Amino acid sequence: MRPRLKALVSALLVALLLWRVDVAEVGRVLAVASPGLMGLAGLLFFLMHGLNALKLRVLLPELRAGRLLAYTLVAQLYALVLPGQLAGEAVKAYRLSRDEGHRRGMDGRPGREDGGRIVSAVAFDKVTGIAGLLLLTGGGLAVQSARFGDGLLVAVGLVLAGLVAATALLAWAPARALLLALLGWRAGPKREAWLLGPLRRFLKAWRDQTRRPGRALLSVAVGIAVQVAAVAGSQSLGLAVGIDQPFSVWSAVIGLMSVIVLMPVTVAGIGLREASLVGLLDLVGVPHAQSLALGFGILAFQVMVALLGAVIDLTVLREQRA
């Protein structure tokens, strides 16, 4: 979907929500929000990004946690300004592989094998992060099955099974050979240079990651901790705007919302995030005005993190590149 169309979808969703929900009531809810709980939510959201950096360091132990945190925060900037929530991860993979490849390369040339390993690690990190997200979401849905039904739990289980199957398939030698053969049919030097060569390095590094089950399990465990911080931050922000629900409900709602906003149909998930919160929290009896206020609050924190990422990109990382 083109960026202009995604922006149009975001604008239409926000307009529809503002038309259906009492905007004045949303303003009143935000006006009386607890500053203390909002501050706690901000700390928990920042903790989430710190844990994300430590999670990536499980797969890239030779890199410093502070450096990975800097790239993680910069990725939040690109996740906000580029279409699609996965855009930030793509930029993080590119920037890390480029900068670290040049830093580690011989004679000033990029280290290609190292770059491919970094890109693969970032992708594998995202997969284990989604696995942690789905596990915590499934736990919340299982506890709150009376409110959400069993259909969503089955859907989450199927997505998790598909994720595991895709991870194993990419590590299976016959599947890798078939993929390379299909993409390499009648390939010339240009396709070999920009597609097949990098893909071979990526798949080799992916296979190496799957051969370290201890690292993979630790990465999933930290991914669950990341999601716990995200849910706890959302719960604190929800309490600030008057939404009092148990942690299991928040686990289900925030997890499902996080999966929904991965769909590349809006800019940075704007509109889709707020609509999903209104619809999901409606199942547990939360007024729409409070749900929409929560959605705007989460977006505001994402904008603040993105601005921090911009400052880091223009100062710390720029000086290191120079």
Q: Per residue in 174-186, pLDDT tens?
A: 999 999 888 888 7
Residue-by-residue DSSP string for 32-81: T--HHHHHHHHHHHHHHHHHHHHHHHHH-TTS-HHHHHHHHHHHHHHHHH
More confident residue, 88 or 177: 177
Rounded CA separation 213/61 (Å): 15
- Rounded to the nearest integer, the mean pLDDT of the chain is 88
- Is 242 a residue whose pLDDT tops 50? yes
pLDDT of 52 > 90? The answer is: yes
Measured CA to CA, the distance from residue 179 to residue 171 in angstroms comes to 12
Give the separation between CA 74 and CA 52, rounded to whole angstroms: 13
What is the residue extent of each domain of the chain? 3-321
Q: Would you tell me how many other CB atoms lie within 10 Å of the CB of residue 193?
A: 11
> What is the model's pTM?
0.89
* pLDDT given at position 10: 85
List pLDDT tens digits, range 207-224: 999 999 999 999 999 999
Taking CA 133 as the corner, what is the angle to CA 147 and CA 227, rounded to the nearest 5 degrees?
Answer: 95
Token look-up 């901000």 returns 42
pLDDT of residue 108: 41
Lowest-confidence pick of 31-35, 188-192, 200-204, 268-272: 188-192
**How would residue 315 be classed by pLDDT, with cut points 50, 70 and 90?**
confident
Q: How far apart are CA 238 and CA 224, in angstroms?
A: 20
Give the separation between CA 229 and CA 258, rounded to whole angstroms.
13
Q: How far apart are CA 30 and CA 20, in angstroms?
A: 18
